Each structure stands twice: as structure tokens, then as C-alpha cells.
Amino acid sequence: MCTSTGGAFFDLFWIKELHSPPEVASFFVNRTVELLMVLSINTVLATFVFYVILTQSASLGSFKYYLLNQLIWAQILEFGLLLTCPVFVGPCLGAFLV
């Protein structure tokens, strides 16, 4: 049973020390050069894959349109993530844009 003065029961749920706020590494603050390299490589590879799907996949029939759909949405997501540069915060559920 719990005592009315708190005791051991409430010690389990009490925060004993405050955690310091998460620190963002310098890599995440300014990564323009790395992102431009990834963006250029990604654009070249996406163009090549788009060409291969359209011209070299006649035997796939209508399945190539599913591949094109996947490719287009993956590229939109990739460009969005590269342009907004989100930084995900460690053990917390959260992110912010740099």
C-alpha cells in the first residue's frame, strides 16, 4: 500500500534530474556542399532510370507505370528532404528545419 506522504510509489514517477536540451551537430547546420553533391548525383541517376524504364521495359507491360510512379514520388520526396534539410531530434519525437 501507498502511504499518504508519497513514499517509494511516487519516487518511481518523479523526474529527479532535468535533461539538457539536445545539441545539433555542426554537420546538420550547414551542409550545402554535401546536399548539392547528393542532389546532382540523384538527378543524373533518376534521369537514367527514367530512360531505362521507358525504353527498355517493353516486356513489363503495365507494370512499368507502377515503377514510374514509384520513381517520380521517390524523387519528389528526395528533393523535398534535400531542399528543406530537416534535422531529427534524437530520442525525442520531433524535427526542425534548418
Closest by CA to 30, choosing from 79, 87, 76, is: 87
Contact between residue 97 and residue 84 where contact means Cβ atoms under 8 Å apart: yes
7 inside domain: no
74 inside domain: yes
- Say how far apart CA 87 and CA 98 lie, in whole Å: 7
pLDDT digit string (tens) for 43-59? 999 999 999 999 998 89
Model pLDDT, residue 85? 78
pLDDT interval class at 79 (50, 70, 90):
confident
83 inside domain: yes
Q: Is the pLDDT of residue 81 over 60?
A: yes
Q: Give the domain range for residue 54.
A: 26-97
